[in-house]
Amino acid sequence: MSEFRPILRPALGSKQTVASADFRLSPLPEGTIIHVLARPGQEDIAPLLGRFTDAAPHALRPVSPDQWFIISDAPIPHPEMKSLFAALGPRATGVDQSHGRVRIRIEGKMARRALSKGTALDLDPSAFPIGQSAVTLIGHIAAHVTCVGADTFEIIVLRGFAESLWDDLARMGLEFG
Amino acid sequence: MSSYRLPKRGLVDRDAPLSFTFDGRPMQGLEGDTLASALLANGRMLVGRSFKYHRPRGILTAGAAEPNALVTVGRGGRAEPNTRATMQELYDGLEARSQNRWPSLDVDIGALNGLLSPFLGAGFYYKTFMWPAPLWEKLYEPVIRRAAGLGKASYETDPDAYEKSWAHCDLLVIGAGPTGLAAALTAGRAGARVILVDEGSLPGGSLLSDTATIDGKAAADFARDTSDELRSMPNVRVLMRTTAFGWYDGNVFGAVERVQKHVREPASHLPVERLWRIVAGKALLATGAEERPLVFGGNDRPGVMMAGAMRAYLNRYGVAPGRASAIFTTNDTGYTLAQDLEAAGVDVVAIVDSRPAAGIDYRGRARLVREAVVCGTKGGKAISAIEVLHGGRTETIAVDSLAMAGGFDPIIHLACHRGGKPVWSAEKAAFLAPGSLKGLEAAGGAAATTGLAACLGEGAARAEAIVRGLGLSCPPVALAKVESDEGIHSPAPLWSIPGVKDKAFVDFQNDVHLKDIGLAVREGYSHVELAKRYTTSGMATDQGKLSNVNAIGLIAKARGVSPAEVGTTTFRPFYTPVSFGALTGAHTGHHFQPVRKSPLHDWAKKHGAVFVETGLWYRSSWFPLSGERTWRESVEREVLNVRKNAGLCDVSMLGKIEISGSDAAEFLNRVYCNAFLKLPVGKARYGLMLREDGFIYDDGTTSRLEENRFFMTTTTAYAAGVMNHLEFCQQVLWPELDVRLASITDQWAQMAIAGPKARMILQKIVDEDISDAAFPYLAAKEVSLFSGAIHGCLFRISFSGELAYELAVPAGYGESVADALLEAGKDHGIMPYGVETLSVLRIEKGHVTHNEINGTVVPADLGFGKMVSASKPDFVGKAMLQREGLTAPDRPQLVGVVPLDPQQSFRSGSHILAKGAAATLENDEGYVTSSAHSPHVGSTVALALVKNGRNRHGEEVLVWSGLHGQSTPARLCNPVFFDPQNERLHV
């Protein structure tokens, strides 16, 4: 079956963008998500990780102590991924999560209000400025939230929960539609 | 005479009439009315029947503390019992029904209970219905419950939506009365993040019924203008119709917003109620004070009302209580009410003041009766006269309404939700909030401050201090100039009133009267918590908002001590009732719990899978083909096909963890009870993970893909638990090890390809050589697929006992790869199979799951004793595994079980009894952990945990299920029913 070319099926492929004047919910391209785990006791490697990103804003997001996500809209070919992992060593390990995590964008004047129906995070710009990331629960589902713009957030969620979270977010935004 | 609407006065919109019904009778109200004010405007003074004696009851308050006017609003799934008419905003089409009466509110048979009242005192059911004992459940309790009670909940589904939301602020102000508005304005202008909540529909609280002027404006206009300014500030959120009901750790407040309880048809895009969790830097309790009733005979007769409530109905709603009112007061507020009543044209017949002199210069027309009390009332379903005791004489005065003003109790409920107890102030004659609360302080009426100007000033001052504490500068807010303010001096409390003959109610909602409190004290229940439970005072939906302090005062008087010594009962959330809908929020129906979908979910669906919920996962259970009538038909076909050809099963939901770092092998060696340190790269190994107590926690295969990179699989159920366990080991037990853990469960679509033709099918898509020589049993490595189009991991492991592989591919490609495998295997007879077939195959092969790893077994019990490393210096569970009880010879051991007659069957969970033994607990030998019909064996086969089972192969036993009434003669045997030599694994 050497001629067979597998087809990529996005987890939220069946979901349409939900959009209104003050609230917009959209699935993001399933590009690249690399989970970087630093060696324990390693000096802060965040400054070094910048060179592994595609230079897009907020391409490097903290996950937990000594752990980050490197994000890109575009997929990285397998050999490049392997090279990247090799370059990270021995200070850190890279784990491909490009398929394991799904990104969702939520934006608009009412994005915070909608998100606050699920998360206990204080998303006010004074407490959660642009560039800030946090792991939280949105309703019953664990998610990673980053403020990527004035009224714009990106959520990273486990692929298996992506549809469920999408449905919850759409419901949270219902009153702003 | 009855109550009626005044031709003018009030904040109601006289151009917006609203129609509603009460007990089916059509009535008219106005926009801005509550149901209570509209009922009064319609002359409806009798609105309910009391809990126990079915006494006629009217509207007592104008707010949240209402104990009497409880009605059912709405119909069908929207019917809401015990709605306080005083809080229910009127809307066009509102349907309200009275409660706890039969056949009607006006003619209620239950009122006969009043005749039996000498036998129905506090605790009567503890004394009266003792014998014969069986009748309690069958007769007495049902009858008592039927005769007493509140509204009934609907059995229909609630059609409306609810939701929850979080909010954060620097300052939470609870209560939008004068204190709260001044505080919110001060903090808002300073730029602090402020949330102002109030349970009412309009901001203003007491300002809405006050006749004072503030900066030359009517009090209500001041409230409106202030709230308009607050709403215009981006840093201030005003939440009206929102009751703060609880104060929790972390300065989190619970509040419920009634978003659409005031509309006839709730809009579908909005919830009807929203539950808020408000995280506040600081909070100011500006909840005001509750007026205290007076305990005189017949104080519950319709027409008797709290003085503040009467003033609210008069000034806010333009409703007069009657045409001839009396006022019974212990303080100066009674006189302010008298002035307002007279200004509205209501004749104030008398002001009965318990004091020798008033602190206010009253120049109205009412007759003043000083040093006097109202000791009784007369009337049927409405008051017709009062009995006034003064100078040793009782005088009857005809009235159609009576206001009672017994002083004020600060509303400090929330301040006591985190363990603090109210503190009695003799000076204020009231319980105050406990001192030095962290994050919360009371101000204004809630701190027993009286007078409008004082409350406004205190609200502003407290907010200013809080704002400065936050490091913000706070521009001074000019103090408002108040005219016609009423300065109330704290009155001496009037607990008991002389000359009382009729029932004098302490707790209106529970029908607890003066004598009940006395009885409780006499019978030894004088501790406030015991008195509450003995008399039921302070229970039910109002939780004693009006009654608690009077009950405490009466107990104190009976005991001859101060109320400080009696103390209060424990205050707990909720301040007022909160619906289950609000507490549940959006988590109902489809949103009840998240659904976790495998990347092969849609693939399974298109092949007709029947799904089963496994935790949050939806797993494909079996794949019926047309013509198959039962699930077993499908499963047996799938089983036989795997044994004969090949099958494909979705195992994506198995937990997968990538373990890396230079100490990864050492880490695994300590986590598993068997050896992992020297596992070669490219090899998989079955591992057993123990708990610290020596029992098996989980099992799975772990593969060494690189020197320092391992791919661990866990069971589906324990995936998250194992990850937590590993993180604990890494962070707490062995922080010195260089180990990194990443959950990769969702990254991979994983499929088992099992059966004698598995290799030839798989080889069509895998680029590398996977012959037995190149890729033997337990091999594991990264592979490229479809000429390098994608990459995955391949493991030669088998749960079925067949030649089998597990292939993991990036999840987004899962469906496509599964399609390709079915296409590649079409000519080889490949078919999808589900977890039922997976289960049959593994039982035939004697493989265990968490049916057997039930939390009480050690490795040796399952035949894995030799796996446990004797040479490793340590591993989790090693020490405790040596305990005597875990090595005892009669421990349960894994065996196989087959029925003697292949036509007979038995079920999982059945017990094993020695042949001929009676079915008793003592004779229990173990139980069947897993069972299935095996097409290979041709009968039911089962795994069981049986005492000393390994030495009993061949023994005849009885498989007994008391639940199903089944006894099946059976034989214990080797648990491996299929290919015991493992020949098929190595082909």
3-state secondary structure of A77: coil
By the CB < 8 Å criterion, does A136 face chain B? no
pLDDT of B777 strictly over 80: yes
Cα→Cα distances B457→A118, B384, B825, Å: 38, 43, 84
Sequence-distant (≥ 6) Cβ neighbours of residue B113 within 8 angstroms: B52, B53, B54, B120, B147
pLDDT in tens, B278-289: 999 999 999 999
- CA distance linking residue B790 with residue A78, whole number of Å: 8
Phi, psi (rounded to 5 degrees) for A64: -160, 175
Chain B segment 647-686 residues within 8 A of A by beta carbon are 653, 658, 660-662
Cβ atoms of B543 and B286 within 8 Å: the answer is: no
By the CB < 8 Å criterion, does A86 face chain B? no
pLDDT of B147 strictly over 80: no
Q: Which of A12, A42, A82, A117 to mutate to test the interface with B (most CBs of B within 10 A)?
A: A117
- How many beta-carbon contacts under 8 Å exist across A and B? 160
Smallest Cβ–Cβ distance between B597 and the set A5, A140, A163 belongs to A163
pLDDT of B492 strictly over 90: no
Smallest Cβ–Cβ distance between B598 and the set A37, A117, A160 belongs to A160
By the CB < 8 Å criterion, does A65 face chain B? no
Cα→Cα distances A79→A83, A86, B706, Å: 6, 11, 16
pLDDT in tens, B390-405: 999 999 999 999 999 9
pLDDT in tens, B193-245: 999 999 999 999 999 999 999 999 999 999 999 999 999 999 999 999 999 99
Smallest Cβ–Cβ distance between B166 and the set A120, A168, A174 belongs to A120
pLDDT of B491 strictly over 90: no
Sequence-distant (≥ 6) Cβ neighbours of residue B85 within 8 angstroms: B34, B35, B36, B39, B47, B59, B66, B69, B70, B71, B96
Phi, psi (rounded to 5 degrees) for B461: -65, -45
Phi, psi (rounded to 5 degrees) for B563: -55, -25
pLDDT of B109 strictly over 90: no
B593:A140 CB<8 A: yes
By the CB < 8 Å criterion, does A99 face chain B? yes
| CA distance, residue A9 to nearest chain B CA (Å) | 5
| CA distance, residue A3 to nearest chain B CA (Å) | 7
Chain A segment 9-28 residues within 8 A of B by beta carbon are 9-11
Give the pLDDT of residue B118.
80
B645-668 mean pLDDT: 98
Give the pLDDT of residue B324.
97
Transcribe A4-64 into DSSP letters.
--PPP--TTTTPPPEE-SS-EEEEPP--EEEEEEEPTTPPP-HHHHGGGS-S-TT-EEEEE
| Percent of chain B's residues with pLDDT above 90 | 91
B852-871 mean pLDDT: 97
Closest-CA residue of A relative to B786 is A2
B785:A163 CB<8 A: no
Q: Which of A93, A112, A122, A163 to mutate to test the interface with B (most CBs of B within 10 A)?
A: A93
A30-55 mean pLDDT: 91
What DSSP state is assigned to residue B591?
G
| CA distance, residue A89 to nearest chain B CA (Å) | 10
A1:B820 CB<8 A: yes
Q: Which of A164, A167, A168, A172 to mutate to test the interface with B (most CBs of B within 10 A)?
A: A164
B455-483 mean pLDDT: 91
What is the token pair recorded at A23?
Answer: 């609230």
- CA distance linking residue B429 with residue B944, whole number of Å: 72
pLDDT in tens, A91-142: 999 999 999 999 999 999 999 999 999 999 999 999 999 999 999 999 999 9
Please report which confidence band the pLDDT of residue B480 belongs to, taking 50, 70 and 90 as the band edges: confident
Give the pLDDT of residue B488.
66
Residue B592 CB neighbours (<10 A): 11
- CA distance linking residue B806 with residue B127, whole number of Å: 71
Window from A66-70, B590-594, B857-861 with minimum mean pLDDT: B590-594
Please report which confidence band the pLDDT of residue B490 belongs to, taking 50, 70 and 90 as the band edges: low
Q: How far does CA B286 lie from the centroid of its chain?
A: 27
By the CB < 8 Å criterion, does B168 face chain A? yes
B599:A30 CB<8 A: no
B586:A168 CB<8 A: yes
B662-691 mean pLDDT: 98
